Amino acid sequence: MIDEERLKRYFLDLVQIDSVSRAERAIAQRLARDLEALGIPVVMDDAGSATGADAGNLIARIDGNVPGARPLFLSAHMDTVAPGNGVRPVVEGDIVRTDGTTVLGADDKSGVAIIMEVLRTLKAHELPHGPLDIVFSICEERGLLGAKALDVSRLRARDGLVLDCDDPHVLFTQGPAANHMRWRIIGVEAHAGVAPERGISALQVAAEAIAQMKLGRIDTETTANLGTIQGGTATNIIPNLVEVHGEARSRSVEKLEAQTAHMTACFEEAAARHRLTVDGQTLQARVETSVERAYDLLNVPDDAPIVRLVLQAAATPGTTIETRATGGGCDANVYNGKGLRIANLGTGMRDIHTVKEAIDLQDMSRCARVVLELVQINAQDQE
Ligand SMILES: [Zn+2]
């Protein structure tokens, strides 16, 4: 029942609408218009002002046509990474890619197109469905900011899907929580040639700390990385400020907190070793630490209703889907942190965040058939 030709055309339309993060207005307006043409009321929330974007999240609430059926949540994000403006899709058989100058934006316009195609098919064939809460989010690629700003009390559904990963045979149900950290190491500035004994090098403190730090893959559930380091002004000045940015991720919140504390302790211990007395005054290197929870755990149990629905729906159109853990984060992590049970289903997007990004239209259609099927199976589940 999925109209593959219509799905393809719509996907090609969407990828040609510029929508890098914080500039989602044009695609949001198009989607709002198309939802309204289907008779579906849609509102835009105020996430735009919270995130600095020119549009908010789109929320469409569709009434069910089966009394007592469970509400279901479906979501994809509207924004893309750069270079994402002026996309010229190239279609070769079932494969869609770009001319090599931009990303394709199948991440995540494949998810958006699939949801729209499912809604059109439900409508055209008057298929049974429960209440549907559709969210097209902004700023996913900017730290999941749209999802973070979403007020989930506006939703009826507590279970559902984000369509925002690659392999159409995979349902991500487990993923790490992540912290983003920033350390400012503060030393004492001095002339490097004239008075080096009056200075504390923030760079040296940072180097000692980093040399002691466990980084990379910490264990099967935990990773850590320092991504940037900046500091110093000139070779003849002992630098008094170095700023280091890093992250840690783990599928265990305890391990995440332990790794975060370890990284901070390395900086603090190194700073404590650098003390100096100048003109009777004691000077000490110090560290300012800021830790921010970037996103929460994705942790949907295998016996959760949404997992059962996806596996059951996959069996019907003769495809297979397995649950898996990912090392990445997406809007689903944020929604789970807000108490929803949302898993992430693959749409077929490949080589995302590169100008080689591509998608196989057969994969996209397969995902659409699974989603259409699970919406109908869900309609049989009474609350
Ligand atoms: Zn994405």
Is 303 labeled as catalytic in the residue annotation?
A: no
Strand partners, 170: 322
Q: What is the pLDDT, as a whole number, of residue 383? A: 55
What is the 162 CA–ligand 1 centroid distance (Å)?
A: 9
What is the 144 CA–ligand 1 centroid distance (Å)?
A: 10
Full-model pTM: 0.90
Identify the DSSP state of 111.
H
Contact indicator for 378, 72 with CB cutoff of 8 Å:
yes
> Phi and psi for 186 in degrees, rounded to 5?
-110, 120
Distance between first and last Cα of the chain? 27
What is the 181 CA–ligand 1 centroid distance (Å)?
A: 23
Structure tokens at 27: 């695609």
Identify the DSSP state of 125.
T
Helix/strand/coil for 91: strand
105 Cβ neighbours under 8 A, 6+ residues apart: 14, 15, 19, 80, 84, 87, 357
Contact indicator for 324, 168 with CB cutoff of 8 Å:
no
Contact indicator for 205, 288 with CB cutoff of 8 Å:
no
Is 107 labeled as catalytic in the residue annotation?
A: no
Give dist(CA 281, CA 284) in Å, integer.
10
Written as one string, the DSSP assignment of 227-256 is: EEEEE---TTEE--EEEEEEEEEESSHHHH
What is the 307 CA–ligand 1 centroid distance (Å)?
A: 20
Contact indicator for 96, 90 with CB cutoff of 8 Å:
yes
10-residue averages of pLDDT along the chain (383 residues): 97 98 98 97 96 98 94 98 97 97 98 98 97 98 96 97 96 96 98 96 98 97 97 97 98 97 98 96 97 95 95 88 92 96 97 97 96 95 64
What is the 139 CA–ligand 1 centroid distance (Å)?
A: 10
How many other C-beta atoms are found inside a 10 Å radius of the C-beta of residue 366?
A: 23
Q: How far is CA 314 from CA 15, 95, 319, 354, 369, in A?
A: 27, 23, 5, 29, 8
Architecture in CATH for domain 177-294? 2-Layer Sandwich (3.30)
Helix/strand/coil for 205: helix
284 Cβ neighbours under 8 A, 6+ residues apart: 200, 271, 272, 274, 275, 276
Per 3-state DSSP, what percentage of the chain is helix, strand, and coil (rounded to 5)? Answer: 35, 30, 35
Contact indicator for 108, 140 with CB cutoff of 8 Å:
yes
Q: What is the pLDDT, as a whole number, of residue 279? A: 92
Catalytic residue among 79, 141, 159, 166: 79
Q: What is the pLDDT, as a whole number, of residue 381? A: 73
What is the 192 CA–ligand 1 centroid distance (Å)?
A: 48
Side-chain half-sphere of 195: how many Cα atoms within 13 Å?
9
Q: Which helix (H) or strand (E) holds 218?
A: strand 216-219
Burial classification of residue 100, based on how many CB atoms lie within 10 Å of its CB (0-12 exposed, 13-18 middle, 19 or more buried): exposed
Q: What is the pLDDT, as a whole number, of residue 81? A: 97
Catalytic residue among 140, 166, 331, 373: 140
Q: What is the pLDDT, as a whole number, of residue 318? A: 79
Q: What is the pLDDT, as a whole number, of residue 316? A: 79
Task: Tell me the angle at which helices 4-15 and 361-380 cross, rounded to the nearest 10 degrees.
Answer: 110
What is the 216 CA–ligand 1 centroid distance (Å)?
A: 24
User: 4-175+297-380 sits in which CATH class?
Assistant: alpha beta
Structure tokens at 14: 């969407």
Q: What is the pLDDT, as a whole number, of residue 33? A: 98
Domain boundaries, the chain: 4-175+297-380, 177-294
What is the 184 CA–ligand 1 centroid distance (Å)?
A: 31
